[in-house]
Amino acid sequence: MFKNLKIRWKFLLSSFAVLLSSAALITVFMVVSIKKNAAADILVFRTEEINKVQTSLKNYVDIAYETIDSNYKDAQDNEYLKKRYGNRLKNIVDVAESITLKAMEAAKKGTISEEDAKQQAIDAIQTIRFDNGTGYVWINDIGTPYPKMVMHPTVPALNGKLLDDSKYNCALGKKENLFKAMVDVCLANGEGFVDYLWPKPTKEGLTQEQPKLSYVRQVPAWGWIIGTGIYVDDAIPDAIEKTKSDLSKMRYDNSTGYFWINDTGAPYPKMVMHPTAPALNGKVLDNPQYNCALGKKENLFKAMVDVCLANGEGFVDYLWPKPTKDGLTAEQPKLSYVKLYKPLSWIIGTGAYIDTIEAVVSEKTAEVNSRIKLLLINIFAIVLTISVLAFFGLWYMAKRITNPLDDCSAFAKELGSGNLNASIDIHNKDEIGQLATSMREMGTSLKTAMEGVFSTAGSLSDGASDQASSLEEISSSLEELSAMTRRNAEGAGESDRLISETHQVVQEANHDMAKLTSSMKEISKSSIETQKIVKTIDEIAFQTNLLALNAAVEAARAGEAGAGFAVVADEVRNLALRAAGAAKDTAGLIEETAKKIKEGDNVAMSTNEAFTRVADNIDRVKNLMGEIAQASKEQANGIEQVNSAVLNINRVTQENMLHVQELVEASDKFMGSGDASFAERDETKRTTRLLT
C-alpha cells in the first residue's frame, strides 16, 4: 500500500515516522535513565538505612551482651559474691552461732555438761540446710598447724580427723590448705571469707569438686570455727535469672525495641526468654510459622543459630509481629542482629522492624513514577507541538519537491500524446533539475528523430518510384530478349535441317551460306544487345542494393519506428543480389553464345573458301548446330527466369512504394499535430508493423 502513495505522502509519513521514532527512543532512554538512577538512589538510601539499623542493632546487642557477661562474671567473682551472698552466709552462720551460744549458756548454767552441750549444738547445726539441700554448715577446730574436723554433715568420715591431706590445698588464689586458711583468717579477724574447691552434695551424692565461697567465724570459748558457703555454680543460676529479668525489662526506640535469648539446641533451639511472647519461654522453636527467614524460607531461629555458630554473630531478616500500644500487628519485615554468648550457649538478639524503610522506599518509588508520568506528559506536549510545526514545514518542503516532479510528469504526458512542441520550465540545480534537463533533451531528440524519419520516408518514396520505373524498363527489355532467344533457337533448328539436306542441295549451298552468314551476324548483334540488357539489369540490381542499404541505415536511425522498414529493405537487397546473380549467369551464357556464333561465322567463311570439304564436315557441323540449339534453349530458359525475378522485384518495389507513402503520411500527421489522438498513433504503429 505504501508504494502506491504519492511521493509527497511518502515523504511526510517517512519524516513523521523518523520524528516519532526519535521521540520514542529519547523518551525511553530518559525514562530508563531516570528509573535506573532512581533505583540506584533508592538502593543507596535503602543500603544506608539498613546499615544504620544494623549499626544500631549491633550497639544495642553489645549492651545486652555486656550485661549478660557482667552478671555471669560477677557470679564467679569472689568480691561480688561476697557482696551479694555475704550477708546471707553471715545470717546462716549467725543461726549456727546462736545455737552454739545457747548450748554454751546451758553448760555454763550447769543444766548440761559442756560435752553434752557441744554435742547438742553439733546435732542441731548439722541439720541446717539451704539452697535446696546443697547448702550446709560445718565445724572445725583451730588446731595448728592443721585443724581437725569437728563436724561435717555431708562428709561425716572427716569428723575428728586432722585436715592435713594435700588434697585440701585448694584454697583459691593461694593454693594452701583451705582449713588452715580458715583458721588464719579467723585468728586474724575473728571471721572472714575463703574460696576453694569442694564436692557439691546432690540427691545422687557428691559431685566432683566445685568452686565454693565460704564464710567462717570463730567461737573462741570452744575453739570452734563455724563455716558455711555457697557453690559458685549456684550463684550462676541466680545471675542467669537476674540477667533474664534485666534483659526482659530493657527497651529502646520508644519501647518497641527489645531483646530475647534462645539457646543453640539442635535441630531447633529453645526460647530462653522472650519479653513480648513469654509463652515461648522454654519451648522448642520448631513451629512451621517460624519458617519465615527471608531468602531461604527456613526456621528463623535455626538460621540465627547457624549464623552464630559459624561466625559468632550475624544478621537475619524475617517476618514477625510488631508490638504497638494497641498490641501486636500483623507480621512485618524485621532485621535482627544475634550474638553468641559461649559460656551459657546463649544467643542474644534484637531486631528492628524495617517496614518504615520499605515504606520510605515505596514513597520514593511512587515519587519517581510520578516524576516519570509528568515527564511523559511534558514530552508528549513537546512532541505534539513539534509534530504540528513539523507537519507544516514538511508539507511545504514536500510541495517544493513534488511540484517539479508533477511538471515533469505533465511534460512526459504531453510527449506521450504526440505534442513534440511541449516545454518544461524547471531550472533547478538539484536532481530534479537534472531530470527536467534530461527530459527537455529527450523531447528535442525525439522531435529531431521524427523529422529525420519524415525526411527519410520522403527519400524512400522517391527512390521507390524511380526503382519501379527502372524495373518496368528492365522487364520490357527482358521480354524482347526472350523473343530473340526463341527466334535464335528456331534458327538453330532450321540450320540443322538445312545441313541435313546439304547433300541434296549442294548447288544451293552458296546461297544458303550467304543467308547463314547474314543470320549469324544478326545473332551476334542480338547477343551484343542482350549483353547490354543484362549489364543494365546488373547495374539496376546494384543500384537497388545500394538503395536497400541506405534504407536499412535510415531505418536503423529511426529506431523502433524503422524496424519494420529495415526488414523490407533487407529483403529488397536480397532480391537485388539474386537479380545481379541471374544477370551475371545470363551474361556468361550470352558470351558463350557469342563465341559459338563467331565460330559459326568462321565456319561459314571457311565453307566459302573450301566448299569442297563441306560434305566431309557435315556431320561435325550438324553436331555443332545441335549444341547451338541446346544452348539457345538454355538461354531462353535463363532469360525467362531473369524476367520472372524482375517481375517479382517490380511487385515488391510497388509494395514498398505503397508502404513508404503510408509512412510519409503517418509521419506527416505525427509531426503536424501536437494533439494527435491515440488512434493516429496506433495507425502509425500498424503501418510500421506492415513494413516489418
Sign of CA dihedral 425, 428, 431, 432: negative
Mean local confidence (pLDDT), 363-387: 83
Range ranked top by mean pLDDT from 166-170, 550-554, 619-623:
166-170
Give the residue from 333, 353, 373 where a domain finishes: 353
**pLDDT value at residue 510:** 63
One-letter amino acid identity for 87?
A: N
Q: Which of 65, 67, 54, 48 is nearest to 352 (CA)?
A: 54
Q: Is residue 395 part of a domain?
A: no
Give the residue from 206, 238, 270 where a domain finishes: 238
**pLDDT value at residue 679:** 44
In a shared domain, residues 490 and 619: yes
- Quick check: 526 pLDDT over 80? no
- 302: CATH: 3.30.450.20
For the chain, the maximum distance between any two Cα atoms, rounded to a whole number of angstroms, is 240
Q: Is residue 674 part of a domain?
A: no
Binning pLDDT at 50, 70 and 90, where does residue 209 land? confident
- Going by DSSP bridges, is the β-strand pair 149-151/205-219 parallel, antiparallel, or unpaired? unpaired
- Could you give phi then psi for residue 223, rounded to 5 degrees? 70, 30
629-639 pLDDT tens trace = 677 677 767 77
Q: Is residue 9 part of a domain?
A: no
More confident site: 591 or 49: 49
101-121 pLDDT tens trace = 999 999 999 999 999 999 999
**pLDDT value at residue 28:** 84
In DSSP terms, 347 is beta-bridged to 262, 340
**pLDDT value at residue 676:** 45
DSSP sequence for 630-674: HHHHHHHHHHHHHHHHHHHHHHHHHHHHHHHHHHHHHHHHHHH-T
**pLDDT value at residue 214:** 92
Domain extent at residue 294: 251-353
453-503 pLDDT tens trace = 666 666 666 666 676 677 677 767 767 766 776 776 677 677 667 767 765
In a shared domain, residues 185 and 283: no
More confident site: 238 or 9: 238
497-518 pLDDT tens trace = 776 776 565 566 667 666 767 7
CB atoms closer than 10 angstroms to residue 15:
16
Binning pLDDT at 50, 70 and 90, where does residue 263 land? very high
In a shared domain, residues 233 and 277: no
**pLDDT value at residue 454:** 64
643-660 pLDDT tens trace = 777 677 767 667 766 766
297-348 pLDDT tens trace = 889 999 999 999 999 999 999 887 776 667 766 778 889 999 999 999 999 9
What's the alpha-carbon Rg for the chain, to the nearest Å? 75
More confident site: 387 or 349: 349
Q: Using the 8-state DSSP alphabet, how is residue 351 labeled? A: E
Binning pLDDT at 50, 70 and 90, where does residue 96 land? very high
In a shared domain, residues 496 and 637: yes
Which residue stretches of 504-613 are H helix? Answer: 509-558, 563-609
**pLDDT value at residue 687:** 44
**Burial track 657-671 (b if 16+ CB lie within 10 A, e otherwise):** bebbbbbbebbeebb
- 549: CATH: 1.10.287
In a shared domain, residues 138 and 225: yes
Binning pLDDT at 50, 70 and 90, where does residue 684 land? very low
Question: CA-CA distances (angstroms) from residue 431 to 400, 407, 427?
Answer: 13, 14, 11
In a shared domain, residues 85 and 168: yes
E strand or H helix at 114, and its extent?
helix 114-125
- Could you give phi then psi for residue 315, rounded to 5 degrees? -110, 145
Give the residue from 334, 353, 372 where a domain finishes: 353
Ramachandran quadrant class, 282 (left: phi over 0; alpha: psi -120 to 50; beta: rest): left
Cell for 443? 523531447
In a shared domain, residues 183 and 293: no
The SS3 assignment for 350 reads strand
Q: Is residue 620 part of a domain?
A: yes
Look over the chain and give the mean of its residue pLDDT values, rounded to a whole number: 80
Binning pLDDT at 50, 70 and 90, where does residue 553 land? confident
Residues 6+ apart with CB under 8 A from 583: 534, 535, 537, 538, 541, 642
More confident site: 289 or 262: 262
